[in-house]
Amino acid sequence: MKILVNNTRYTHLSPAEMGLYSRHLLIPAIGIKGQLALKNAHVLIVGAGGLGCPILLYLAAAGVGWIGIIDADHIDVSNVHRQVLYRVADKGKNKADIAKSRLQALNPYIEIETYIEKLSVDNAEALISRYDIVVDGTDNFVAKYLINDACYLNDKPLVYGAIMQFEGQVSVFNVRDENGARGANYRDLYTEPPDAALAPNCAEAGVLGILPGIIGCFQANEVIKLITGLGRPLSGRLLVYDALDAATTELSFSASLDNPLRDPNWSHVLEEMPVVCSSAIASDQFVMTLEEFNDLIHEYTVIHLIDVRELHERELISIGGEHIPLAEIESIDNECLMDVPIILYCQSGVRSQRAASLLANKFPHSQIFSLKGGISAFLASDLYPEMMVNLVLCQCGGLRTCH
């Protein structure tokens, strides 16, 4: 495979860089030529979370000269067990800003640019066009399809990764072979997203803390291979890793004529995938913040509190209320819905917002809310002790549950 990056902005390494990258330079297949390719490379990482952290750490340490980070999220304590760039003391700070600070301390000889925003149809094409390679560190299907389509439109290789619980996936999309033919992409692998109920994100389904480290390192390795021209990229191949069995499985796939991106009538205009994923909340409709919830339980003596998670989740931890899983939420009868607030909660606030939407359609005159951030945000909040006291007092004073 030929070297992907042919920029010549940098033509030599400083003595300090020679020392830092000395173990790379000892490898004949890398040497000065390969290290300069790394130094001249521009790589964009979309998402500075579980996958993004190891990707960023190892690409920065390897000497990738220009790294872009786009992420609008803030650090939560529940991130720290897998997002190893961050500390508990970083709670509330922007991920991209903290990542940049830590990476610059790791390697002061590279440039890092941050974008404190979400990738969208409005900014994706302009942003991606500036980079040689894009790396997907996201956890939702809306973003993954958008990244894939923007990379296809701009003819940029995309290094894909995905994780859930104990399993991860890695592949490389949109790579041109020696004959110039463009390789398969995400839409060849997954024509359409799965049903939202079957595709929870890490906040909903959980993830083994070390798994994103493993998958992220696989992704970083693919980036380095693409930049230096070493090895064979995972183009047309999906690597599936099972952390419990320590086993890898490789599945082959190819470019499909049914891919809408290859449709001659495709307008070449980016559009957001019209799906509602379990990891993507479309709006703040029906959402109640923790502060508002705390005020409410302190003010009202009667509320309806409903846990829409599954039973095994509730058995681990609960803040009370009636247990009605999301799949059964529409079975609630009208007698339950009196003129008092109905608060629904789940692990991260995604399923409860879906439940709130379903109930609001059924009972449009009721006060129905989803607890923003769910139990994860509840436990991490500075208001946690006060809210627990208020919940106990509220229940003693007449908290109502639906039967």
pLDDT in tens, 200-228: 555 556 788 899 999 999 999 999 999 99
The angle formed by the CA atoms of residues 28, 33 and 35, to the nearest 5 degrees, is 90
Reported confidence tier of residue 195, pLDDT bands at 50, 70, 90: low
Distance of alpha carbon 377 from alpha carbon 381, whole angstroms:
6
- What pLDDT is stored for residue 282 in this prediction? 41
Lowest mean pLDDT among 140-144, 287-291, 331-335, 374-378: 331-335
What pairing do the DSSP bridges indicate for beta strands 158-164 and 167-173?
A: antiparallel
pLDDT value of position 302:
72
Question: Which residue is listed with tokens 């379990």?
Answer: 278
- Helix (H) or strand (E) segment spanning residue 187: helix 186-189
Among 7-16, 147-156, 250-259, 314-323, the range with the most confident prediction by mean pLDDT is: 147-156
Q: pLDDT for 233-276, tens place per residue?
A: 999 999 999 999 999 999 999 988 888 888 877 777 787 765 44
pLDDT tens-digit readout, 64-108? 999 999 999 999 888 899 999 999 999 999 999 999 999 999 999
Q: Which two tokens stand for residue 82?
A: 């897998």
Residue 278, pLDDT score: 39
Q: Tens digits of per-residue pLDDT, 276-295?
A: 443 334 445 688 888 888 88
Residue 280, pLDDT score = 38
Q: What is the mean pLDDT of residues 111-122?
A: 95
> In this predicted structure, what is the pLDDT of residue 364?
82
Q: Say yes or no to pLDDT of 32 above 80.
A: yes
DSSP code string of 283-328? --TTEE-HHHHHHHHHH-S--EEEE-S-HHHHHH----SEE--GGG
- Which of 15, 109, 131 is closest to 62 using CA atoms? 109
Structure-block tokens of residue 46: 């979309």
Q: pTM for this structure?
A: 0.74
Q: Enumerate the active-site residues.
A: 202, 346
Q: Residue 395: is its pLDDT beyond 60?
A: no
| pLDDT reported for residue 4 | 62
SS3 assignment, position 249: strand
Q: What does the CA dihedral 309, 312, 315, 317 come to, rounded to 10 degrees?
A: -50
Alpha-carbon separation of residue 203 from 46, 279, 323, 356, 374 (angstroms) = 18, 8, 19, 19, 10
Q: Quick check: 286 and 368 in contact, CB under 8 A?
A: yes
Q: Pick the closest to residue 341 from 361, 359, 319 (CA basis).
A: 359
Pull the structure tokens for residue 371: 């607890």
